[in-house]
Amino acid sequence: MSKKAKLVLVLSLVALAYFLFAGDKEPVEVQ
């Protein structure tokens, strides 16, 4: 797996986890 693909995958997982975690408290606006 290329370095760029791995970076994108990690960022996607972090963004998803943050969205789910923050979504429990209050809505998150995505720009």
pLDDT tens digits along 1-31:
799 999 999 999 999 988 888 766 665 566 6
Instruction: State the pLDDT at residue 18.
Output: 86
DSSP string, 2-14: -HHHHHHHHHHHH
> What was the pLDDT predicted at 1?
74
pTM of the model: 0.55
Q: Tell me what pLDDT residue 13 has.
A: 96
List of residues 6+ apart from 19 with CB closer than 8 A: 28, 30
Cα distances (Å, whole numbers) of residue 9 to 12, 16, 24: 5, 11, 23
